[in-house]
Amino acid sequence: MSIVSEQLSTGKQAGRTPAAPRRRNWLRLWGRFGQYVALVGYIVFLGFPLLWLLSTAFKSPQELAKLTPTLFPVDWTTENFRIAFEQTQLPQALLNSLIVAASTAVVTTVIAMPAAYALARLRSVVRTVSVGWILVSQIFPFILIVIPVFVLLNNLGLLNTLTGLVVVYVVWALPFTLWMLMGYVSAIPKELEEAAAMDGASKLNILARVVFPLLLPGIVATGMFAFISAWNEFFFALVIITDPAKETAPLLLARYVGAEGSVNLGPLAATALLTTLPSLLIFSIAQRKLVAGIMSGSVKG
């Protein structure tokens, strides 16, 4: 309130000299110009690394060996992709990543759905505790969790298996999945369920026929989120998987960077490009929903 009154009073004092509007127009024009310059700066900073990855992936080894690189390949070649597929375990790693990410997405959403419903609909201490846990767990570095998880998986015989990785990823994705789903559940009007209950529908029926269809877009978005986070994850995989045949794509890439990748930039770029495609693809499809979901979770949570 004080801001408003303050500005109202300064407005009176300012008066309107005839020269002021023209000067202001000039200022505004320059301001717009400056804004566009800044925007182009952001586009270059954010976009250039991606462009460079694309360009490197399609350059021939000879061209990459040149000391003065060109922005775009002189002759485009898919040679790097062939090398990536033939000389590395990329196909296996991509398959492993796909299995792990898809399983994580399915399991996470299936077990999170009832919990998200309960947490969103029945306000109770449990809800406060859960939301509190989501926030508190952010503070602890992974190193505290990963050592006991390592020992635990070892005792369960799940160390160095994709199943073990899925278990960890599900738990890892759950808090945020719950967060998102809770936002979607809250968006479904309670009155719809109440009306169905009045008509004599059983609770199970209401959940299956009323809530679930309305929740489906949210479930898909949440599943995609879980998929991306599992597909992208690196640290737990690094600790849990040691067998090269069970490596996920990020692991393979990290190993490749350390080994021959620093010399063979072309295949490295090609592998990186292939690995990032699935998450980019999903992301471009679900971008709006994902962002809205994360935001709604944080606003309504």
Partner 1 sequence: MQTSVASPAGAPAAPQPPPGRKRRSSGGIGGRSTWFLLLPSLLPVVLFSVYPLLNGIWLGFTDAKAGFDVQYRFNGLENYRQLFQDNLFWQSFKIGLIWAFSVTILQFLLALGLALLLNAGLRLQWLVRPLALVPWAMPSVIVAILWKLIYAPDGGILNAALQGLNITDRNINWLGDFSMALPAVIVVGVWAGMPQTTIALLAGLQNVSADLHEAAALDGAGAWTRFRTVTWPAIRPVVVAITSLDFVWNFNSFGLVYVLTEGGPGGRTMLPMLFAYNAAFQSGNFGYASALGNAMVVVVLAIMGVYLWRQMRQSQ
Q: Which of residues 258-297 bind partner 1 (CB under 8 A)?
A: 258, 261-262, 265, 268-269, 272, 275-276, 279-280, 282-284, 287, 291, 294-295
Residue 168: partners with Cβ closer than 8 Å, 6 or more residues away: 149, 153, 236, 240
Least distance (Å) between residue 117 CB and partner 1: 6
Nearer to partner 1, 74 or 291 (CB): 291
Residue in 234, 244, 259, 285 binding partner 1, rule: CB under 8 A? 234
Q: Restricting to residues 188-227, name those near partner 1 by CB under 8 A.
A: 190, 193-194, 197-198, 202-204, 206
Least distance (Å) between residue 271 CB and partner 1: 8
Kindly indicate which of the ranges 72-80, 81-89, 133-141, 213-221 contains the residues binding partner 1, using the contact rule CB under 8 A.
Answer: 133-141
Residue 18 interacting with partner 1 (CB under 8 A): no
Nearer to partner 1, 20 or 95 (CB): 20
Q: Residues 150-169 vs partner 1: string with x where CB under 8 A?
A: --x-x------------xx-
Least distance (Å) between residue 217 CB and partner 1: 19
Q: Restricting to residues 92-111, name those near partner 1 by CB under 8 A.
A: 110-111
Q: Restricting to residues 30-89, name those near partner 1 by CB under 8 A.
A: 31-32, 35-36, 38-39, 42-43, 45-50, 52-53, 56, 64-69, 71
Residue in 89, 121, 160, 163 binding partner 1, rule: CB under 8 A? 121
Residue 254 interacting with partner 1 (CB under 8 A): yes
